[in-house]
Amino acid sequence: MKTVRDMKTVRDSKEALRDLGRHRNVSDRIMKAIGDYAVDPRAHANNVARLSGSTASRLRVGGFRALLEESDDEILVTKVAPRGSVYD
């Protein structure tokens, strides 16, 4: 079982915070999914995939995608957008 000490720290970039502000109707759901993933990566294993040609990953939350940069102890949320426009 994971303890609080094993949990990764989640940080948001300015762009990600701006994106979440634009999509307030789903921002709580997205942040909860990211928090769950930080505690236990297996919780969203089916919804996380590495992006080809990049070190980033994407977390799928309904019709939205959150782009993540991960290290051993931290998750940086770089962008949050609807599925069709997140990769632009």
Each residue's pLDDT tens digit, 52-84: 999 999 999 999 999 999 998 999 999 999 998
CA-CA distance, 46 to 17, in Å (whole number)?
25
CA-CA distance, 72 to 57, in Å (whole number)?
14
CA-CA distance, 34 to 50, in Å (whole number)?
15
CA-CA distance, 13 to 79, in Å (whole number)?
8
Mean predicted lDDT score pLDDT of the chain: 90
CA-CA distance, 16 to 66, in Å (whole number)?
8
- The model's pTM is 0.86
Indicate whether 28 pLDDT > 90.
yes
User: Which CATH number describes the domain made up of 4-82?
Assistant: 3.30.2310.20
3-class SS of residue 12: strand
Inter-residue contact 65 to 83 (CB < 8 Å): yes
